[in-house]
Structure 1
């Protein structure tokens, strides 16, 4: 640590007193964070006056640590103030990277205590330092954080300026996708908080950014979206200028494009977007190419209607196919027809009825149940078999003697034939 001058010596005394307040001993069991924080802040101020910025940054950071400690009666807001002072000393020390880091820590402490406006103030300082260092991406992110903080506080009108700076940083960083998103966000914000003429300028800026990237389709879609969401955009000066730009790119007319770029309306846009508009060029990759006339005729011939005769033949074929399908789908399933009712069936039914009547009459006379149909049928079959056997026996017994002799002669002849065969 450097020592020189009365202020530097005084700063060293305060710094030593702060470190002593944090120490414990036999009779001092708890560090005194409040006393230490005050001593460190005094040391930082004296170091800054003595232009000893390095020691000043160290002293202020020690003060912020004490303020942020849970046992300290201070709040994170006081820690943020100490870090903001340290960031100022780092900037004077020509260390922008350290300064931006300290500012971000300070803003975080402010947000912990609900001091969003104080956080916006320090973040804007950090964003400006990033722009000076040509770090446009970090600057864009910081400006976006500022816009979100203003929206949380319900101060949308105050977010217009940081949103414009975020768009400018996105264009400088050549992040055109982020620029398009921010311009769309700006259009909605201006539609709510400002006159609609400013929203028209935002819509024209979106078309310019899309054309600069060579995306004609996106530019046309953006124009249609603005025409539907922004009332009167198509008939406004900005809307007509955007339409002329699209027509020039569609036709590939470079002279018309040069004439459009000289319009004074572009001067009212964000300076970085205005520079993009003046730098639009009709490159081969950006111009919209039309198909040749012969190719258009060939494509139209593909979709030309067929001749009348061919259409008639096709219609007849389709009709025949429909009839075939309908007949195949509506035909009922084939089933076997029942056998015809014959005369034999009539006799069987009549006999069955007579048997049933006889059985009922027998039951009424005797008081006993008549046999069932199956039992009666079995008895009938047994009787028929018995009668058939008796008839066969009687037929054999009653045959005439002549027939019996003929049978015996036939048997003798068969036996004689067998004997002759044996002799041979």
Structure 2
């Protein structure tokens, strides 16, 4: 079916929708159900014809008709479809607004899980190019499901929140999110799932430059880690404690860390390594930046080496020693 056929069908559905919205002496109230259905069909035809602006417009009109008909679930579903059309248009500014609107409708209807789901879909659309907005959507999704005591779903959203915060270098907030996720996993008695989270928390604390907080996290939750996780963390923390950059690099290059979520694997590659200070002995007899002293092979023992002033004094004594001989010569000459 060619594009023109889709457009003709769309226009016909729009005409039928507008007809359903009209009132008369015998029809006091618009037929919102018929109009919503026709607008939805028109939106589909426009989308098939790649006329995305008209498709979005029809979906929003269908949502309004559903809302007037007190069918909030279907209204929210129409707005959710409009989000996907915005993606086709590349209009990311509307995605967050529409996601919030659809979520509100789902919550009012009594379907919070559907509301959290639409927030997640919108966040995934924005995550690559607009991570800050995606972070806000994930945070709201987590709050929505937590209101319904859905801890299992909340842990998934909080996990995404933590990874996005690491990507945005929001390390303080990322540490809080990881602690929150560890707490939820322990409530669900998923002790095996907390091991990697503890490794991630240690990495984030090291990225904050707080080695003490990293050690505290390991001491607090280290009993939930498995053997490879414990071995990796012990080696890493010991290297930072000893200020051994080589050992720290070796621990960060372990296969276990490299196979973590990509955000934490990248974080491990960019962590500042410990810098141990090298003690340089200071001597008062050697001038700073001086070349090594040269010792003559013909020199006598150190006991006979005098200072420059002493050498000059020796030279003076030698001259005086020769003086009496000259006096004797003068005296001999005088006798003559």
Larger radius of gyration: 1
CA distance in 2, matches of 1:158, 1:110: 17
- For 1:44-55, list aligned pairs within 5 A: 44-55=43-54
Q: 1:105 aligns with which of 87, 94, 101?
A: 101
How far does the alpha carbon of each residue in 1:211-258 deviate from its partner, in whole angstroms, 9 at most, with x for none?
Answer: 1121234323433xxx34x37258954345334433322332212212
Q: Secondary structure at the match of 1:282?
A: coil
Q: Give the secondary-structure state (helix, strand or coil) at the position aligned to 1:232.
A: helix
Instruction: Judge conservation of contact 1:234–1:240 (CA < 8 Å) in 2.
Output: no
Identify the residue that residue 66 of structure 1 maps to in structure 2: 65
SS of residue in 2 equivalent to 1:132? coil
User: CA, structure 1 residues 43+208, in 2 after alignment: closer, same or farther (shift >3 Å)?
Assistant: same
What is the TM-score normalised by the length of structure 2? 0.72
Aligned position for 2:255: 264
- Relative to structure 1, the CA distance from residue 81 to residue 234 in structure 2 (aligned partners, 3 Å threshold; closer, same or farther) is closer
CA distance in 2, matches of 1:84, 1:153: 22
Partner of 1:254: 245
Q: Structure 1: where are the runs of 5+ without partners?
A: 292-424
TM-score by length of 1: 0.58
Distance 1:23 1:195, change over 3 A: closer
| CA distance 1:215–1:23, shift in 2 (3 Å) | same
Contact 1:63 1:82 survives alignment (8 Å):
yes
Once superposed, which parts of structure 1, at least 4 consecutive aligned residues long, lie more than 6 Å away?
A: none
Aligned pairs (5 A) from 1:396-407? none
| Deviation at residue 127 of structure 1 after TM alignment | 1.3
What stretches of structure 2 of length at least 5 have no aligned partner?
280-336
Bigger CA drift: 242-251 or 252-261?
A: 242-251
> What root-mean-square deviation, in Å, do the aligned CA atoms of Structure 1 and Structure 2 show?
3.0
Residue 280 (structure 1) aligns with: 271
Q: Indicate how the Cα distance of structure 1 residues 132 and 282 shifts in structure 2: closer, same or farther if over 3 A, else same.
A: closer
Pick from 136, 139, 142 the counterpart of residue 141 of structure 1: 136
Q: Any conservation in 2 of the 1:164–1:270 contact (CA below 8 Å)?
A: no
In the TM superposition, what whole-angstrom CA distance separates every residue of 1:39-76 from its partner, at most 9, and x where no partner exists? 2222222222222211111011011111112xx2x411
Query: Contact 1:57 / 1:86 at 8 angstroms: preserved in 2?
Result: yes
8 Å CA contact 1:100, 1:129 repeated in 2: no
Q: 1:210: how far off? A: 1.0
**Distance in 1, Cα, partners of 2:62 & 2:156:** 34
Please show how residues 25-424 of structure 1 align to structure 2 within 5 Å.
Answer: 25=24, 28-69=27-68, 72=69, 74-133=70-129, 135-193=130-188, 195-223=190-218, 227-228=219-220, 230=221, 232-233=223-224, 236-282=227-273
